[in-house]
Amino acid sequence: AELRRAEMGGEQDDLVILRIASLLDAIGQPHQAKLEYHRFLSSPLCTQPVPDWRCETAKNLLEKPPE
């Protein structure tokens, strides 16, 4: 809830999206997590000429089979 509030409050850190995705994954909501991972991959951190290393991690998490 705190991360969602930060995001809605205009938090400029794109890693908030990744943290939300990771938390959703951890609490057993893989479908919601995948939506957030996709959103993170569309963020400036992942669309810049040299993407942040966490973008590759997010891609790999999207490709993992559901449990």
The letter for the amino acid at 50 is V
Model confidence pLDDT, tens digit, residues 5-64? 777 776 677 888 898 999 999 999 999 999 999 999 999 999 999 999 999 999 998 887
pTM listed for this prediction: 0.79
CA angle 8, 10, 14 (to 5 degrees): 95
Check: CB of residue 17 under 8 Å from CB of residue 40: yes
Hey, what are 30's tokens? Answer: 């893989």
pLDDT of amino acid 23: 92
Q: Which pLDDT score is estimated for 28?
A: 93
